[in-house]
Amino acid sequence: MASGVKPRVKAPKKASAGEVVTIKTLISHKMESGQRKDSSGNVIPRSIINRFTCDFNGQNVVDVVLAPAISTNPYFEFEATIPEAGDLKFTWYDDDGDVYEETKSVAVG
Amino acid sequence: MDFTRRDTLALGAGATAMALLPLSAVAQADPNAELVGAPDEFLAGADAGTGDLTLTAPEIAENGNTVPISIDAPGAVEVRVYALGNPTPGVAAFRFGPLAGSQAASTRIRLAGTQDVQAIAKMADGSYQTAMKTVKVTIGGCGG
**Measured between CB atoms, does A11 come within 8 Å of chain B?**
no
- Spell out the residues 6+ positions from residue B66 whose beta carbon is closer than 8 angstroms to its own: A71, A72, B108, B109, B110, B141
The b-or-e profile of B18-31 (16+ CB within 10 A means b, else e) is: eeeeeeeeeeeeee
Rounded to two decimals, the ipTM of the complex is: 0.90
Tens digits of per-residue pLDDT, B115-132?
A: 999 999 999 998 999 999
Handedness of CA A12, A17, A19, A24 (dihedral sign): positive
- CATH number for B24-137: choose from 3.40.50.300, 2.60.40.2470, 2.60.40.10, 1.10.10.60: 2.60.40.2470
Tens digits of per-residue pLDDT, B23-81?
A: 444 333 344 445 677 888 888 888 888 888 999 999 999 888 999 999 999 999 999 99
Q: From the CA of B1, how many Å to the nearest CA of chain A?
A: 51
Q: From the CA of B9, how many Å to the nearest CA of chain A?
A: 38
Tens digits of per-residue pLDDT, B1-24?
A: 566 666 666 666 655 555 544 444
Tens digits of per-residue pLDDT, A11-51?
A: 999 999 999 999 999 999 989 888 888 899 899 898 899 99
Q: Do A80 and B99 touch (CB under 8 A)?
A: yes
Domain segments of chain B as ranges? 24-137
Minimum-distance CB partner of B95 among A36, A62, A68:
A62
**Which of A46, A48, A70 should be substituted to probe chain B, the one whose Cβ sees the most B Cβ atoms within 10 Å?**
A70
Q: Do B106 and A76 touch (CB under 8 A)?
A: yes
